[in-house]
Structure 1
Amino acid sequence: MRRMWHYGLWLVLAGLAGLAARQVPWDHVQRALTEIPLRTWLGLIALNAFILWLFVLRWGWFLRQMGFTVPWHRLVAYRLAAFSVSYFTPGTQFGGE
């Protein structure tokens, strides 16, 4: 029963995502993205990778100071997972207290 509820929830979420995607003017999105020069895209990707590297470097340093050794690729995965959780879940700015 619990598995059915789980699959049902994912089905509802997929349906809602589909409804939201139908409302997006994709031709405008494509036009806006293609107007950004390749050099700008590469610069933004490089900047993002550099910032991610700094975050991972900092956490690696903290963990080494506490006596833990975690491989770099695992730290990257943990950092990206933590970012996605904080990005996709509502915080105090959503709804307030």
Structure 2
Amino acid sequence: MKNLFLLILFFPAITYAQYTAVPDPNFENFLEANGMGDGVPGNGQVLTANIENVIDLVLPFNGNITDITGIEDFISLENLDASFNNIATVDLSANLLLENVVCCIQ
């Protein structure tokens, strides 16, 4: 019985990472390049754990980002600057802590 207890105690827990879909390749490349990705450029997703604690997000000027789908999982986001990208619409309803948004069109 003691051996069974030790086996259970030291058996590694199986966990599954949660991912956030990021369909815009330019947005995903930016996230990957800034440590918010999943380490696999071009796969259309990032690790949710890498973005859920981001408070400030400043997208590159003229980054040719047209879609910031995935922004809904930035649940700690307070400041978003998406200036000079080609983003036509965005749903920020899940970003409850968001205080400042800057979006300028070219």
Q: Greater CA radius of gyration, 1 or 2?
A: 1
- TM-score normalised by the chain length of structure 2: 0.20
Bigger relative contact order (CA 8 A; separation at least 6): 2
Bigger fraction of residues in helix: 1
Q: TM-score scaled to structure 1, two decimals?
A: 0.21
